[in-house]
Structure 1
């Protein structure tokens, strides 16, 4: 073999080694990315949902323990620290039982004497009461059914033979046997307590009331159609705000006979101005769609203009094109990408992901201090305190991006923040905007828990029904109103209510009237018992 052949072979082998090294590098980056995705999916399915950043912990690295440097020990002990003060321990649970609960008194008197009188067992003389010890126990009676009989006497005139009778009262479900209280209980059990209809049927059967699942499903659909105008009124209230939170979540939907199941979407829009000291009542509006195309949020917000706080979903991009809607991004989404890497790295302190989380934590610390303050004050504080943090954070992200591989998970996490930087920092110049989109994520939490229990919706119509009920229950919760009391109050009245005055049944409008109606109903039940 000549020297030229050796040189050629050497060059060919060098090329193969270089290509192999490049392939290995790509494979290792792919493995790291897949490990991060696997850790994220495992946490979403099995892990805890908290993303709270913990302080540096003891970690085993290569068989060695990372121990924090102890502070120098001082022999001087302060007087306050030297005193052994006894701290009161708060017992978990209720310290005092609520006053509004009815009381049933049971008197435990001493054993009577031989003649039936209250005599001393030691000497036989009469006893007199010198005091008493009272203790209270919280008890529970399962919900009970009762039948309401509507009696309409027919009255006839003795002279002209005219017969008079009061018209039959309207029912929430036309010609149905379910009252407003039962319907409200079924809706709240399914959409607030996440109890599937078949389990409700089993509970009712234990009380001796046999109801089919299909019957409850019909009741849910008819109640949703009856309440749909009220949900639309809540939607109009949400869209009257100049800043709303938006998000969406998947939900499995059956496709009907002969069709495959599909993944529908529940979109949520939240109006909550309380963090900036706004006085408008908070509200949440749900909408259902059979897919996640961008045309759906465009339809929902076609006549609205303002600030939309949402994640970086590409389907929202067409909303921002004409400037009518301004984008505000979410630091929680940006932080979550770093958190997934931090968790994959066993939460080791000092890593790039940990450094990024600590810098973002400074933003949330400032936000916690100004939550509930007026918008102008929030803006001033952000200009003074948050702006420097954001400038330093962007510089760190740019330097980090230059250090890591372009396809590494860390580069993707940092690149997400830098590519959405304008929307992420918009909150610093407007006190109305939040640094995160947690209001929308909290509203979707009930959907996420519910789909783990009832697994799927029966049809697209069921998706629309779910959106209506989630809207009413979520809005009632935001206003501190018991959703079951509210739904019962509305179902008792909405059938005869004027359509052009539907706003009179909004949760924050009827809150005071509900209390009076609930008290009157409790008195009626007590008298009937």
Structure 2
């Protein structure tokens, strides 16, 4: 019995030791698991910060193009699970190319046919048109032609207008009152200024189309023999912008009547009343009609990026508004909102563009990028095949419903699935979260063939201001910023409608200074899209019209 008790006691002790060891092992395993989790979290955080640094470096030093290498594109086949399964697998694909002759290959006669032509004939003098051997008269047997493109340097000169007054002496002798008739000088947009319409147009064109700041224009005019300070030039521009306000108002009225507007915004530095750079960021907002016909582009200077800015500007607009993902536009009332696919694609591009090999093959971001590429491919094919047709928008609407709609739905499903697996702070997690907010509005994109897939039209329209800002750096006063908004609006709308900006500005000034009534109906015939504008204002070189910067 004693032996049995001893064995029983030993068994109990053994069990206690084993139980204790098991608990210690379980505790150690939990500690290790916690450490592993901590290590994984640190790795993810490190990867997040590395990606942030790579993105910053790419924006500063890298190319802006979002094209993917061929070896990366080949990995898009990994997305079979989320691709459009209704599309049949091709057996043999035959590819044909149609290439339009680029402007560099267009003959010079085609490019320069609209220019004035001066013909200069080089002949022998009559007294020399004799043979030096037999002294008989020479006969013309042929000609050779050489064309030289000439440039006439700019020239400043004073145009002095002397107006005469006349009196009838006969009337004066009869009743003592002379009938006086005075000749009126031509009207000018800036009545008290010596600046001609041609000079004003040239100054505006140099600054707003070719981004030449006023301090450079000051030296430019100095070399032409005229001392024009930048203050004088600035005063001319602001005074001209004041006269253009009526035109701006009509443009805004017509933009708000359209059914589709694209919007964007960018920063601008404005000097305060004390001559110091303002600490707070100021903004130049842009609004553009989405239709390709009769485009209108408007700039609007505001002191903040507050949502009240687009809300106030678009308060009378009730169509479709397309923007990037900035939430400030969501306050605009009575509109259907559609976002920009280019901004969604960029989030995935920033991930896949840094990956190669197995890392790229295993990346789930490739699938998201592939969905965007499929949608853009459809848009490209539609443009190449149907653009210019009278029923282009109708065909685009029908084909989008057939081909694009299923891809958008699959894209939304992909985002919902992947959001459950991706880390929120990871690049993929951020791309998916961004897509989650913006993608559902693309169902609006499917309702109207005139709507674009992205907001690139607005981004291209605001680009001239961004490029100009790099040269002139700032606006000297808030009033100057407002003046720039008005003039940029007219210049960019004229460009978008295929006009020669400098000629159009002269024409517009000539018309405005002679108008007594400046209501909408009167001004409409002088708008950049008007069919009543003379042909001489229209861009003759078709290769330049609509060319993207």
Alignment TM-score, normalising by the size of structure 2:
0.78
Segment drifting more, 349-358 vs 239-248 = 349-358
* Count of residue correspondences: 475
Q: CA contact under 8 A between 1:53 and 1:357: conserved in structure 2? A: no
Q: CA contact under 8 A between 1:382 and 1:429: conserved in structure 2? A: no
Distance change (3 Å), C-alpha of 1:511 and 1:451: farther
Q: Deviations over 1:362-401 (max 9, x none)?
A: 2122223334444443222111111122233233334444
Partner of 2:262: 245
Matched, 1:505 2:505: no
SS in 2 for 1:509: coil
Partner of 1:50: 65
Q: CA contact under 8 A between 2:408 and 2:442: conserved in structure 1? A: no
Distance 2:537 2:211 in 1: 29
Matched, 1:340 2:355: no
Distance 1:15 1:517 in 2: 73
Distance 1:426 1:517 in 2: 36
Distance 2:413 2:538 in 1: 60
Matched, 1:289 2:302: yes
Distance change (3 Å), C-alpha of 1:9 and 1:146: same
Q: CA contact under 8 A between 2:415 and 2:436: conserved in structure 1? A: yes
Q: CA contact under 8 A between 2:163 and 2:182: conserved in structure 1? A: yes
State the Cα distance separating 1:235 from its structure 2 match.
0.6
Partner of 2:116: 102
Q: Deviations over 1:51-83 (max 9, x none)?
A: 334433799xxxxxxxxxxxxxxxxxxxxxxxx
State the Cα distance separating 1:40 from its structure 2 match.
4.3
Distance 1:432 1:516 in 2: 28
Q: CA contact under 8 A between 2:347 and 2:431: conserved in structure 1? A: yes
Segment drifting more, 369-378 vs 143-152 = 369-378
Distance change (3 Å), C-alpha of 1:56 and 1:143: farther
Q: CA contact under 8 A between 2:270 and 2:277: conserved in structure 1? A: no
Distance 2:340 2:537 in 1: 42
Partner of 1:359: 371
Distance change (3 Å), C-alpha of 1:195 and 1:509: same
RMSD value over aligned CA atoms?
Answer: 3.3
Distance change (3 Å), C-alpha of 1:109 and 1:349: farther
SS in 1 for 2:446: helix
State the Cα distance separating 1:428 from its structure 2 match.
1.6
Q: CA contact under 8 A between 1:231 and 1:468: conserved in structure 2? A: yes
Alignment equivalent of 1:167, drawn from 184, 199, 208: 184
Matched, 1:391 2:401: no
State the Cα distance separating 1:47 from its structure 2 match.
3.9
Q: Deviations over 1:133-185 (max 9, x none)?
A: 10212121222223322221111212213332123433222310101111111
Distance 1:15 1:380 in 2: 55
State the Cα distance separating 1:313 from its structure 2 match.
1.2
State the Cα distance separating 1:432 from its structure 2 match.
3.0
Distance change (3 Å), C-alpha of 1:378 and 1:163: same
Matched, 1:208 2:225: yes
Distance change (3 Å), C-alpha of 1:388 and 1:7: closer
Matches within 5 A, 1:294-309: 294-309=307-322
Q: CA contact under 8 A between 2:500 and 2:537: conserved in structure 1? A: no
Q: Deviations over 1:445-498 (max 9, x none)?
A: 111111111111112111111110111111111211111111111112213321
Distance 2:206 2:187 in 1: 24
SS in 2 for 1:344: coil
SS in 2 for 1:249: strand
SS in 2 for 1:508: coil
Distance change (3 Å), C-alpha of 1:40 and 1:238: farther
SS in 2 for 1:312: coil
Matched, 1:158 2:169: yes
Distance change (3 Å), C-alpha of 1:126 and 1:398: same
Q: CA contact under 8 A between 1:172 and 1:180: conserved in structure 2? A: yes
Q: CA contact under 8 A between 1:36 and 1:341: conserved in structure 2? A: no
Distance 2:58 2:419 in 1: 22
State the Cα distance separating 1:430 from its structure 2 match.
2.6
Partner of 1:225: 242
SS in 1 for 2:475: coil
Distance change (3 Å), C-alpha of 1:340 and 1:235: same
Query: Which structure: larger Rg?
Result: 2
Distance 2:311 2:102 in 1: 54
Partner of 2:481: 463
Distance 1:158 1:30 in 2: 94
SS in 2 for 1:246: strand
State the Cα distance separating 1:239 from its structure 2 match.
0.5
Distance 1:14 1:360 in 2: 42
Matches within 5 A, 1:173-188: 173-188=190-205
Matches within 5 A, 1:427-442: 427-442=445-460
State the Cα distance separating 1:330 from its structure 2 match.
0.8
Alignment TM-score, normalising by the size of structure 1:
0.81
Q: Deviations over 1:232-281 (max 9, x none)?
A: 1001000001111111111222223164424211111111323xxxxx62
Distance 1:245 1:273 in 2: 10
Segment drifting more, 301-310 vs 395-404 = 395-404
SS in 2 for 1:445: helix
SS in 2 for 1:377: helix
Matched, 1:473 2:491: yes
Distance 1:140 1:312 in 2: 48
Partner of 1:28: 46
**Which structure 2 segments of 5+ residues have no match?**
1-19, 75-100, 173-177, 540-549
SS in 2 for 1:425: helix
Partner of 1:523: none
Q: CA contact under 8 A between 1:32 and 1:408: conserved in structure 2? A: no
Distance 1:429 1:517 in 2: 35
Partner of 2:82: none
